[in-house]
Chains A and B, each alone.
Chain A
Amino acid sequence: MRNAYLSTLYQLAKSNKNILALVADNGTIVYDKYREDFTGRFINFGISEANMISVAAGLASCGKVPFAYTIANFLTFRAYEQIRNDVCLQKMNVKIVGIGAGFVYSDLGPTHHSTEDIAVMRVLPEMIILSPSDPLEAVKATNAAAHIVGPVYLRLATGGTPKIYESDYVFEVGKGVTLREGNDMAIIATGSIVHEAVQAVNELEELGISVRLINIHTIKPIDREIIIKAAMETQAILTIEEHSITGGLGSCVAEVLAEANCVYHSFKRLGLNDVFPQGYGNYQEMKVLNGLSKDDIVKEVNNLLNVKRSILPSSSDYAV
């Protein structure tokens, strides 16, 4: 996902001389080609995220389009007031690019994990939040961010994110993508954890459970239509996010459901439940440790459907 972002930024910079790459001493090596070809348009702020964001806002006020990049939680939390007052309040055309979203920097521990960033970014007026699930979507999201005039938070995993999309598709800001049709229940997910959901859906399908899988690449503005439709056409909804269930995608979906009077729908938010990411290990091990593996998803789907077992004939074939 990181390389997808960088190669897209490179292409964008070729056609728009106002695009600037800002970093806070992170990713300096991967920017080599950009630095070489766009002298002066790569600015390393050193380890000072807050300064990078305020300066980015000042640059934007003069017509520049800064893409300010560093590890997601340093950016969103350390520079939060700068993002609020200098970028959002003043409607500055600054792109906040957070790398390593979720706990993809697995063994570095919770200081380097970003599992509350959606919650804090989405309360900010003017902010648009893009959360791509794979490299192709990261390309599309980066292009979309460049074309939006105003603040965007681009939430990226890091390198080695597996593919979700096998072929090209239409990416529209604010519109979710139905990756798999299904009518027993719906999974709504965002970011690189969508890959885990795809595997879970495959396994559930073999067990005779038809799961609709929806990828929400735009957290804000949220696609109300696709959520309400899922509620009307399926028996249960499970949200999955590599993020706290407080304030994240699950909360967004819950708000939509409640306001659309879908409150009796069987609903569950899967993610970090009021905890920081637990343990160390590789990314896959972290998913297991934090209850976000394929098996956890399969288990949650069955728990949810147990509530509706009487009306779901296929689920009786499967023991939890």
Chain B
Amino acid sequence: MSKSFPAEFSKMIDIKEKAKELKKEMIKTICRAGGGHMPASLSIIDILTVLYYSTLQIDPDNSDDPHRDRFILSKGHACVALYVVLADKGFFGKHHLTTYGKFGSILGGHPDMHKIPGVEASTGSLGHGFPFGVGMALSGKLDDETYRVFTLLGDGECQEGSIWEAAMFASHQKLDNLIAIIDYNKQQAMDYLDKIVSLEPFVEKWRAFGWEVREVDGHDLNQLIEIFNTCPFVKGKPNLIIAHTTKGKGISFMEHEPLWHYRMPNLEEMKIVSKDLGLGDFWKEFE
């Protein structure tokens, strides 16, 4: 990068590079393990990159600091995105990534807070992480703490009733230290949400539940940095960020294709993955 760029711009370039690098690491981790929710992870990796490299006040060397910001991946199945970010931040050694999903590993198909440093809650069953985060935010308010609690929810997850119980409660408790981000890629395991159970009118639903809502492009790092930095949007109201995302983002044949929720690419498809993400001859590992 050129020395003539302003400092913020340099930071932008850094984070863009970081997002790209983490995406590659994530896809390698999933492909080598032969399992993982690849499209869902691609949908959120940009959001996680911004959170962990720009937003969250956390220190891997003091991960139990009671004043730290919290992040909960309520859609626990996209955990590989979280694993690569936490490893890169130094919460645990990167060598663990090669063990993902294997015998004796700390890294399973859903994150375990008791095994993995930096994981704030064991999620996997949908509709749990968000209310758990509400509890963390409430605790912060009770103790006059200034930390913020971020939770990332799947859009399909919002079909769970527990999300709306918690949404109602959070606004009643005026938890403006709580930021919920919806990974709105419009797909769930079997098809598009609109073909299964639609969430629309989604923005209006959250507003009706007492939340201050903003919409962003969930792959635009600049927008994400800015939106996270402006929370709380309104004093006394919890914050809802609808991040419009693409499931399978960056892999041509995977984008907008519900079929890929859990499926793994074959050798021919792996060549395309390698090309699309700039992984070179990574595909040769699978020959």
Contact = CB atoms under 8 A, between A and B. Distances in A.
Interface stretch (B77-85, B117-125, B245-253): B117-125
Given A50-B162, A81-B125, A55 B140 contact: no
B136 A54 contact: no
B1 interface: no
Nearest to A90: B122
Contact of A64 (B121, B134, B139, B169): B139
B133 A58 contact: yes
B128 A59 contact: no
A24 B100 CA distance: 40
B135 interface: yes
A43 B131 CA distance: 15
Interface in A13-56: 20, 40-41, 43, 45-46, 48, 50-51, 54-56
Interface string A80-95: 0110011001110000
A170 interface: no
A251 interface: no
A56 B135 contact: yes
A49 to B, nearest CB: 9
Q: Indicate the size class of the contact surface on chain A.
A: 20 to 34
Contact of A61 (B120, B125, B162): B120
Contacts, number: 87
A89 B122 contact: yes
Given A40-B142, A54-B162, A85-B125, A61 B132 contact: yes
Contacts of A89: 122
A319 B9 CA distance: 95
Contacts of B161: 50
Interface string B122-165: 10110010011111111110110000000000000000011001
Interface string B218-240: 00000000000000000000000
B11 interface: no
* A40, A43, A62, A91, most chain B CB atoms within 10 A: A62
Contacts of A48: 165, 168-169
A106 to B, nearest CB: 30
Interface of B: 66, 113-114, 120-122, 124-125, 128, 131-140, 142-143, 161-162, 165-166, 168-169
Given A54-B166, A90-B121, 10 more contacts: A50-B161, A50-B165, A51-B165, A51-B166, A55-B135, A56-B135, A59-B139, A62-B140, A64-B139, A86-B131
Interface of A: 20, 40-41, 43, 45-46, 48, 50-51, 54-64, 81-82, 85-86, 89-91
